[in-house]
Amino acid sequence: MATTRQDVSAGRIARPAETARRKPIDRQDGAAYMFLSPWLAGLFLLTLGPTLVSLYLSFTQFDLLQAPRWNGLANYERMFTEDQRFRNALSVTFWYVGLSVPLKLAVALAIALVLDKGLRGLTLYRALLYLPSLLGGSVAIAFLWRRIFAYDGLVNEVLAMAIGFDGPSWISNPNYSIYTLVILRAWQFGSPMIIFLAGLRQIPQDLYEAAAIDGAGPVTQFFRITLPLLAPVVFFNLVLQTIDAFKAFTPAFIISGGTGGPIDSTLFYTLYLYQEAFAYFRMGYASALAWVLLVIIAVFTAIYFLTSRYWVYYQDER
Amino acid sequence: MFGSVSRRSLLGGAAGLALAPSLGRDASAQQRTRLRMAWWGSTDRARRTQAALEVYQRKNANTQVDTESVGWNDYWTRLATQVAGGNAPDVIQMDYRYIYEYARRRALKPLDEFVPAPLNITDFGQANIDTGKVDGQIFGVSMGVNSTAMFYDKTAFERLNIRPPDHNTTWAQFAELCTNMTRAANRRGFFGTMDAGFVEPAFEAFVRQRGKSLYNGDGRLGFVRDDLAEYWDYWDRLRKAGGAAQGDIQALYRSTPETDLITSGRAAVTFAHSNQLVAWQAVTQNRLGMTMYPKGDRPGQYYKPSMLLSMSATTTQAREAASIINFIVGDADAAPALGVERGVPPSARMRQAVLPTTDELGRAQIEYIALLADKTSPLPPPPPRGAGEVEQLLRRVYETISVGGARVPAAVDQFMAEAPRILERA
């Protein structure tokens, strides 16, 4: 692609034969951009525009009803020097991301490995297992989760019957509430599972056969063949899931009724941002929060990409 | 005529193209006036309001009222966004908590010019008219009178043969009664009362009974450290004695009828507002009763507008909007559909119209409002900016006691330090 673009800029010197070959490609580029144009228009007008405005707003005081008032770095200053809830929201979010992403990926990979063994009715299982991912953000799940993790919920009833243990109200107890949300996230393993499954199908079977002949057991095969060859897929899932987990909003919002409670134990960063913006109408401060989140996500993504060369192995690389 | 103008504009080229859409809009406006009305509330409220508006549209065939109805939290998000975008609904259900903010930022239109016609509120009584005034002008019309109230589970009290609280029950008696109730019921996860340590209206009644207020006239806290300490101590003791719900069960409450402990069979008493009896009764099989908050030395409760109707400052159909407001709050034809779901109508002729059509719940509400007549004190000034955040703070800090196990004095210190900062920043 890069070379093509260079050639185009030096187009006049290019040999006629090449030009003839390239021209249709150029026309294809045009067509591609044309097809992309609705999305591009959306990006520039609906995403990029508001994004830049929010950058401006992050330096202002703005309550939606009155015009924004410039107040320089005051929002950022408050955030980093005096805002306890900001610090708490950060720590809740880091906990959540740090626990839920590895757990979700592990569950997704484990299920994908089982499905890859070639079950009968695979498509049905795949569809059924994908279902939670579609339901995860819905209000009904908030109720389901309460039914499961409230003090008289399913979990406690099972515990009481099995070992006679009187469990707490997991979902509304600040010591445990965040874990119920982590479990909710891990339960929605559908999309990384599908991607893992596709990745597993790409691994040549003869490698396993050769390994088996050499006397490698299933565990060795998994760590020596499956995992290394799956690394690009793991990388892809890791990046997407991390970004997604940082942006998680709905589960905490619906399960805590928008409060992030009890005692801010489920106050996700995004939920705090939402409260500042739409409960207390501090749009300027909320915009500043949004930009800090953007930087945090960018830093994480950059770390992944920079370290990837040490652990991600691409088959077509020589 | 429209045809000929339109053809000439078309010949005029670009100018004509620019004109045509606006002409089209004018022409259709002559046929039909369209307005938008928005409110927050349950599906029951939506059904009632839409039924009333249908009656209005039958009487005024040229008017079409589009409706928007969402829950309390989403409502304020949505309204602020709409106002900022210049797209506010013509008729807006307003809350006493927000009316000063919206009126002073010129988001609402003063209604004085529409009184008495088309807006006839002469039989409201001065007090009910004044609740909608900001800086001497009418910016909202009260839709119903309500007050805070305690709901109790009549069925549960009758079954256990315990006398439910009434308007003479003191705080001390209430604590004893609730502890007995828990003991008598003897069911895991069931308590005499909810833990109202975080319920702002209950705390407000408590401080008013002590001659204080939640906020004073210049928007600062109207109570001192000791008031809060004593209130939280009361609930902390009651919870530890078993009379009030344990912390992590109370924390399941999400300010909706179906998550309230009384409707989910986890408590026999809850703290709410009188007009909410309709919504709360709708989600439980047990029969609910209603009485005043526990009694103190002075009156703690007051009459307030449950909600108000306001008009957007940017409406282009002001007269029509005023006539809709008048229909909802003052036309006997609207009464059967609306009932007392938004509180007891402030208009005397509306009350007359509602009475024959109302059910037991409606009568209970009307009787309750009448019972309060000599037991209330005047409406406090509207809460200052930042009050909503302080309300959240009250809950968050109280939960450090009830679920987090913090000690009362430490929590009180935290609240008394943070609340003034919030008010200052707002």
Asked whether residue B320 is domain-assigned, the answer is yes
**Residue A158 in this model has a pLDDT that exceeds 60:** yes
Residues B165 and B290 in one domain: yes
**Residue A316 in this model has a pLDDT that exceeds 80:** no
pLDDT for A130: 82
Asked whether residue B36 is domain-assigned, the answer is yes
Asked whether residue B202 is domain-assigned, the answer is yes
B166 in reach of chain A (CB within 8 A): no
Among B249, B388, B399, beta carbon nearest to A261: B399
- Choose, out of B396, B421, B423, B424, the residue to mutate when testing the contact with A (most A CBs < 10 Å): B396
CATH number of residue B101's parent domain: 3.40.190.10
Looking at the DSSP bridge assignments, the partners of residue B191 are B267
Buried/exposed code over B189-228 (b: 16+ C-beta within 10 A; e: otherwise)? bbbbbbbbbbbbbbbbbbbbbbebbbbeeebebbbeeebb
Residues B165 and B123 in one domain: no
- The answer to whether A54 and A40 have CB atoms below 8 angstroms apart is no
Which of B 109-128 lie inside 8 A of A, CB atoms? none
Asked whether residue B3 is domain-assigned, the answer is no
Chain-chain contact of A278 with B247 (C-beta, under 8 angstroms): no
Cα separation of B384 and B215, whole Å?
Answer: 8
Residues B265 and B161 in one domain: yes
Cα separation of A145 and A137, whole Å?
Answer: 12
Tell me, rounded to whole angstroms, the distance of Cα A146 from its chain centroid: 24
From B194, B157, B167, B154, select the one nearest B281 (Cα to Cα): B154
Per-residue pLDDT reduced to its tens digit, B111-152: 999 988 899 988 888 888 888 998 889 999 999 988 999 999
B395 in reach of chain A (CB within 8 A): yes
Whole-Å CA distances, A189 to A66, A107, A185, B417: 44, 7, 7, 44
> Which chain B residues contact residue A65 at CB under 8 A?
80, 83-84, 101-102, 105, 107
Chain-chain contact of A150 with B252 (C-beta, under 8 angstroms): yes
B9 in reach of chain A (CB within 8 A): no
Burial class, A52, CB count within 10 angstroms (exposed 0-12 / middle 13-18 / buried 19+): exposed
Token pair recorded at residue B353 = 């119209």
Residues B230 and B246 in one domain: yes
Which of A 111-140 lie inside 8 A of B, CB atoms? none
Range of the domain at B416: 148-301+385-425
pLDDT for A105: 93
Task: Pick the more confident residue, A309 or B114.
Answer: B114
The domain limits of chain A are 2-57, 78-311
Residues B332 and B409 in one domain: no
Among A66, A261, A281, beta carbon nearest to B396: A261
Rounded mean pLDDT of A17-41? 71
Cα separation of B157 and B191, whole Å?
Answer: 12
* Class level of CATH domain A78-311: mainly alpha
> Which chain B residues contact residue A169 at CB under 8 A?
248-249, 251-252
Q: For chain A, give the secondary structure using H, E and C.
A: CHHHHHHHHCHHHCCHHHHHHHHHHHHHHHHHHHHHHHHHHHHHHHHHHHHHHHHHHCCEECCCCCCCEECCCHHHHHHHHCCHHHHHHHHHHHHHHHHHHHHHHHHHHHHHHHHHCCCCCHHHHHHHHHHHHHHCCCHHHHHHHHHHHCCCCHHHHHHHHHHCCCCCCHHHCCCCHHHHHHHHHHHCCHHHHHHHHHHHHCCCHHHHHHHHHCCCCHHHHHHHHHHHHHHHHHHHHHHHHHHHHHCCCHHHHHHCCCCCCCCCCCCCHHHHHHHHHHHCCCHHHHHHHHHHHHHHHHHHHHHHHHHHHHHCCCCCCC
**Going by C-beta distance under 8 Å and a sequence separation of 6 or more, which residues neighbour residue B112?**
B137, B138
Residues B138 and B170 in one domain: no
Token pair recorded at residue A104 = 């979700």
Whole-Å CA distances, A246 to A92, A187, A232, A254, A298: 11, 17, 21, 17, 11
Residue type, B423: L
Chain-chain contact of A151 with B247 (C-beta, under 8 angstroms): no
Residues B244 and B327 in one domain: no
Per-residue pLDDT reduced to its tens digit, A108-145: 999 888 888 777 777 788 788 888 777 766 677 777 88
Per residue of chain B (426 residues), give pLDDT as tens.
333 444 444 334 344 344 444 444 444 445 688 999 999 988 888 999 999 999 999 998 889 999 999 888 778 888 988 888 889 999 999 998 888 888 888 899 999 999 888 999 888 888 888 889 988 899 999 999 889 999 999 999 999 999 999 999 999 999 999 999 999 998 888 999 999 999 999 999 999 999 999 998 888 999 999 999 999 999 999 999 999 999 888 888 877 788 889 998 899 999 999 988 888 988 899 999 999 999 999 999 998 888 999 999 999 999 999 999 999 998 888 888 888 888 888 888 888 888 887 888 888 888 898 888 888 888 888 888 888 889 889 999 999 999 888 999 999 999 999 999 999 887
The minimum CA-CA distance between B85 and chain A, rounded to whole Å, is 9
- Choose, out of B249, B394, B403, the residue to mutate when testing the contact with A (most A CBs < 10 Å): B403
pLDDT for A125: 81
Total structural domains within chain B: 2
- The answer to whether B354 and B144 have CB atoms below 8 angstroms apart is no
A278 in reach of chain B (CB within 8 A): yes
Please identify, among B367, B393, B417, the residue that sits at the C-terminal boundary of a domain.
B367
> Which chain B residues contact residue A66 at CB under 8 A?
105
B376 in reach of chain A (CB within 8 A): no
Torsions phi, psi for B143 (to 5 deg): -95, -20
The answer to whether the Cα torsion of B92, B96, B98, B101 is positive or negative is positive
ipTM for this model: 0.75
Residue type, B35: L
Residues B57 and B110 in one domain: yes
Chain-chain contact of A278 with B83 (C-beta, under 8 angstroms): no
Per-residue pLDDT reduced to its tens digit, B248-278: 888 888 777 888 899 988 999 999 999 888 8
Asked whether residue B405 is domain-assigned, the answer is yes
0.90 surpassed by pTM: no
Asked whether residue B160 is domain-assigned, the answer is yes
B404 in reach of chain A (CB within 8 A): yes
Chain-chain contact of A65 with B399 (C-beta, under 8 angstroms): no
Report the range of poorest mean pLDDT among A132-141, A255-264, A275-284, B339-348.
A132-141
Residues B216 and B314 in one domain: no
pLDDT for A288: 94
The pLDDT mean for chain A works out to 82
Integer Rg of chain B from CA: 24
B86 in reach of chain A (CB within 8 A): no
CB pairs under 8 A between A and B: 75
A257 in reach of chain B (CB within 8 A): yes
Looking at the DSSP bridge assignments, the partners of residue B98 are none
Dihedral class, residue A118 (left if φ above 0, else alpha if ψ from -120 to 50, else beta)? left
pLDDT for A23: 54
Token pair recorded at residue A216 = 């490698």
Residues B137 and B208 in one domain: no
**Going by C-beta distance under 8 Å and a sequence separation of 6 or more, which residues neighbour residue A160?**
A166, A167
Cα separation of B83 and A64, whole Å?
Answer: 8
The minimum CA-CA distance between A175 and chain B, rounded to whole Å, is 9
Chain-chain contact of B404 with A171 (C-beta, under 8 angstroms): no
Residues B82 and B97 in one domain: yes
User: Helix, strand or coil for residue B383?
Assistant: coil
Whole-Å CA distances, B274 to A21, A214, B73, B99, B302: 80, 79, 20, 21, 12
Residues B160 and B255 in one domain: yes
The minimum CA-CA distance between B395 and chain A, rounded to whole Å, is 8
Per DSSP, the residues of B180-248 read HHHHHH--TT-BSB--GGG-HHHHHHHHHHTT--SB-TTSSB-S-HHHHHHHHHHHHHHHHTTSB--HH
> Which chain B residues contact residue A64 at CB under 8 A?
80-81, 83-84
Query: In chain B, helix, strand, coil percent, each to 5?
Result: 50, 15, 35
Asked whether residue B14 is domain-assigned, the answer is no
